Chain A
Amino acid sequence: MNLPKSASVVIVGGGISGCAIAWNLANRGVKDIVVLEKDTLANGSTGRCGAGIRMQWGAEKNCRLAQFSVNFFENANDILAYERDIEFEQSGYLIIAANEAEAQQFRKNVALQNSLGIPSVFLSPEEATAIVPYINATQFVAATFCQKDGHLNPFHTTDAFAIAAERLGVRIFKHTEVTGIEVKNNRIESVDTTGGRIATHIVVNAAGGWSKAIGKMAGVDVPVYVQRHQILVTEPLEPILGPMVMGFSYNIYIQQVPHGSIIMGRSDHTEPRDFRTTSGWKFIEEMTKTCGTLLPYLRTAKILRQWAGHYCMTEDAQPIYGPVPEVEGMYLACGFSGHGFMLAPATAELISEMILGEPLTIDVSDLDIGRFKRRELVREQSVV
């Protein structure tokens, strides 16, 4: 399959965001869409993420974006006519507060979430153990729970968007790396790749950790940085966990996937800001310690493997959406700060609306790239 000479839209990045945007645009009738992926689909952050989705956020925008996405995922197998299964399990998220200050913040979060129609509840440790019997209730003072939260299979979900997009005529080129972007009179003219040049006036930068490099090719400084995040997975166990368990002070998220394996991850803000995806000993020591304290039952579970991927971080841990002032035709869908997978349906909807000049389903005009210069940042605190 040869690259076309021109395209109406070139999407850079074959992760969940790029594939979802391609499908959404094509579903609205846009023709000649091309997706460029330098490796294979879901090879970057998408395929390496914990693949959870929650509506329990502290920032209103994140709540709304996740709420939209949950509603989409509930019917995604049908909407995308996917023959496999995206494995969306709404087994809930239990988020634990390690101290009174955190509990206070959680009360505010639940009030905000409930005001938006998100059915989260505030729980005592005793009430939390009724949901997750194996959790060590002496280790936290309160919790919040939302049954509608859950997790998916990130590979199948990306696959579902990609296949549905291709069915609508989108052309996805794997193993095709973008090497340059031509800009004339502040307008995008073409994209150079290892497979040739494509003339286009619209480029969607959904390149995750590489979005800074893609921006630079067009002379745009995308204010993001990458940082390694690690995860480990155990052998499959009988269903014992129920919801995803998450703690911000404890710096942990842990969930059992339908297959039975337990997946857990944590952050390390002392990590260097680079593209390493090696596995580290410090992570596994800290991770197992937290797990052994919170869920002692899992101490005998065997770890099968650990891996690493990137968070594409912004200063306020919220995404960057939309056009850039300096270069006409470049749209950003990046800086997801670890939450790009779960927000993808909303991302796709909003980026499509922006490109087509339609009214936005969710007003994300304040999540533009300009907010960093304006210093209008709403810091999301509820992140691991």
Chain B
Amino acid sequence: MLEKTGIATREQIEKLLPSPGRRAEGPYAVMECFQKIPCNPCSTSCAFHAILPMDDINDIPSVTPDKCTGCGACAAVCPGLAIFIIDESKGGGTGTVTLPYEFRPLPGIGETVKAVNRAGEVVGDAVVTRVLPGKKTKTPLVTIEVPLSLVHEVRFIRCEAHQEEDPSVADTLREIPAPPQTADIGEQDDEVVICRCEGVTLREIRDLIREGYTTVDEIKRISRAGMGPCQARTCGPLIAAEIARMTGEPLGSVAPSAHRAPVKPLPIEFFLGGDTE
């Protein structure tokens, strides 16, 4: 089902939950991460070693609930916005859900918002109890209070008070100005691995941009960045942003990398008849 609809089933979610005893004790992280992709920020973000180190960057994260404090550090670094902090220990028939919220403006504490489930349907009202602006991670965390029966259902909020007529996404992208040219970025940034599938660093990307390779595809052809299992899902936007920053072009005018079938790696035998799922 997940593969067809993008929505995790009840059974899949229940497998992720700690024991009832642990759930009654205090907040805990739920990692709704079902697909093997080359991604590991969560495993290095936990100060309490509650998330096991990954042998393979494609591994699915594994949490030790007894070590988890529900601090939310992992939720703020997850690029897939797939980690939620649930607290069922408050009593009074309600619990809280802490979720990543990457929209502006942020809701205010005490504000009533619409609680939305994984399918995007409004399932009730929620009250915002905490807002962490995410200055460092750029991913704010919003905590909402909902009836206990909904803590495993509600995964997003809709702030209707702030809804305005939105320009199209393309228009918005075009309007985003190139970030200011900063010559002094620091040596350590250069060593950041941008394409994790093929091990290409920011230094290599920047060198190529300086040499005149100023499209995502040209950089891909020379460096292999984006040719690996994730097919540029991670590095493509990062490289486009770096091109925009270094050339001063608006991000919207940097052509994205070509996306190719079958999008997700599939074995040859998959196509040899039989199962057509």
Which residues in A have some Cβ–Cβ distance to B below 8 Å?
Answer: 40-43, 47, 84, 155-156, 159, 234-235, 259, 279, 284-285, 288-289, 291-292, 298-307
Residue of B nearest to A300 (CB): B267
Within 8 Å CB of B267, what residues of A?
299-303
Within 8 Å CB of A43, what residues of B?
217
A143 to B48: give the CA distance in the assembly, Å: 62
Within 8 Å CB of A288, what residues of B?
268-269, 271-272
Asked whether B262 lies within 8 Å of A298 as measured between CB atoms, the reply is no
Asked whether A305 lies within 8 Å of B231 as measured between CB atoms, the reply is yes
Asked whether B272 lies within 8 Å of A156 as measured between CB atoms, the reply is no
Given contacts A292-B268, A306-B261, contact A155 B222 (CB under 8 A): yes
Asked whether A40 lies within 8 Å of B260 as measured between CB atoms, the reply is no
Asked whether any CB of chain A lies closer than 8 Å to the CB of B118, the reply is no
Known: A288-B269, A291-B268, A306-B260. 15 other contacts (CB 8 A): A42-B221, A43-B217, A47-B221, A84-B222, A235-B265, A279-B260, A284-B262, A288-B272, A289-B271, A292-B268, A298-B268, A299-B269, A303-B265, A305-B231, A307-B258
The minimal Cβ–Cβ distance linking B53 to chain A, given in whole angstroms, is 23
Residue of B nearest to A304 (CB): B265
Interface size class for chain B? 20 to 34
Within 8 Å CB of B169, what residues of A?
none
Asked whether any CB of chain A lies closer than 8 Å to the CB of B18, the reply is no
The minimal Cβ–Cβ distance linking A113 to chain B, given in whole angstroms, is 32
A235 to B266: give the CA distance in the assembly, Å: 10
A306 to B258: give the CA distance in the assembly, Å: 11
Q: Which of A42, A159, A288, A289 has the most CB of B within 10 A?
A: A288
Within 8 Å CB of B147, what residues of A?
none
A156 to B224: give the CA distance in the assembly, Å: 11
Interface of A is mostly: mixed
The minimal Cβ–Cβ distance linking B85 to chain A, given in whole angstroms, is 35
A85 to B255: give the CA distance in the assembly, Å: 27
A307 to B260: give the CA distance in the assembly, Å: 7
Asked whether A40 lies within 8 Å of B268 as measured between CB atoms, the reply is no
Asked whether any CB of chain A lies closer than 8 Å to the CB of B229, the reply is yes
The minimal Cβ–Cβ distance linking A296 to chain B, given in whole angstroms, is 9
Asked whether A300 lies within 8 Å of B269 as measured between CB atoms, the reply is yes
A285 to B266: give the CA distance in the assembly, Å: 13
Asked whether any CB of chain A lies closer than 8 Å to the CB of B215, the reply is yes
Within 8 Å CB of A234, what residues of B?
268
Q: What are 29 A-B contacts with C-beta separation under 8 Å?
A: A40-B215, A43-B217, A47-B221, A155-B221, A155-B222, A156-B222, A159-B222, A234-B268, A235-B229, A259-B224, A284-B262, A288-B269, A289-B272, A292-B268, A292-B272, A298-B268, A299-B268, A299-B269, A300-B267, A302-B266, A303-B262, A303-B265, A304-B227, A304-B229, A304-B265, A305-B231, A305-B262, A307-B258, A307-B260
Q: Which of A84, A156, A292 has the most CB of B within 10 A?
A: A292
Among residues 226 to 277 in chain B, which have CB atoms less than 8 Å away from a CB atom of chain A? 227-229, 231, 258, 260-262, 265-269, 271-272
Asked whether A305 lies within 8 Å of B261 as measured between CB atoms, the reply is yes
- Ordered nearest first, which 8 A-B pairs have the shortest CB separation? A305-B260, A155-B221, A302-B265, A288-B271, A299-B269, A279-B261, A288-B268, A302-B267
Within 8 Å CB of B268, what residues of A?
234, 288, 291-292, 298-303
Within 8 Å CB of B231, what residues of A?
304-305
Given contacts A299-B269, A300-B267, contact A306 B217 (CB under 8 A): no
A45 to B160: give the CA distance in the assembly, Å: 51
Asked whether any CB of chain A lies closer than 8 Å to the CB of B218, the reply is yes
The minimal Cβ–Cβ distance linking B275 to chain A, given in whole angstroms, is 14
Residue of A nearest to B221 (CB): A155
The minimal Cβ–Cβ distance linking A49 to chain B, given in whole angstroms, is 13
Within 8 Å CB of B262, what residues of A?
284, 303, 305-306
A289 to B266: give the CA distance in the assembly, Å: 14
A284 to B268: give the CA distance in the assembly, Å: 9
A300 to B271: give the CA distance in the assembly, Å: 11
A288 to B218: give the CA distance in the assembly, Å: 29
Within 8 Å CB of B261, what residues of A?
279, 284, 305-306
A41 to B212: give the CA distance in the assembly, Å: 12
Within 8 Å CB of B222, what residues of A?
84, 155-156, 159
Residue of B nearest to A301 (CB): B268
The minimal Cβ–Cβ distance linking B270 to chain A, given in whole angstroms, is 8
- Across the interface, B218 reaches (CB within 8 A) one of A41, A235, A291, A306, namely A41
A308 to B265: give the CA distance in the assembly, Å: 18
- Across the interface, A285 reaches (CB within 8 A) one of B229, B260, B271, namely B271
Within 8 Å CB of A300, what residues of B?
267-269
A213 to B230: give the CA distance in the assembly, Å: 37
The minimal Cβ–Cβ distance linking A91 to chain B, given in whole angstroms, is 20
A302 to B228: give the CA distance in the assembly, Å: 12
Within 8 Å CB of A289, what residues of B?
271-272
Within 8 Å CB of A307, what residues of B?
258, 260
Within 8 Å CB of A292, what residues of B?
268-269, 272
Within 8 Å CB of B266, what residues of A?
302-303
The minimal Cβ–Cβ distance linking A280 to chain B, given in whole angstroms, is 9
A136 to B262: give the CA distance in the assembly, Å: 27
The minimal Cβ–Cβ distance linking B219 to chain A, given in whole angstroms, is 10
Q: Which of A156, A303, A304, A307 has the most CB of B within 10 A?
A: A304
The minimal Cβ–Cβ distance linking A188 to chain B, given in whole angstroms, is 29
A145 to B262: give the CA distance in the assembly, Å: 33
Residue of B nearest to A166 (CB): B212
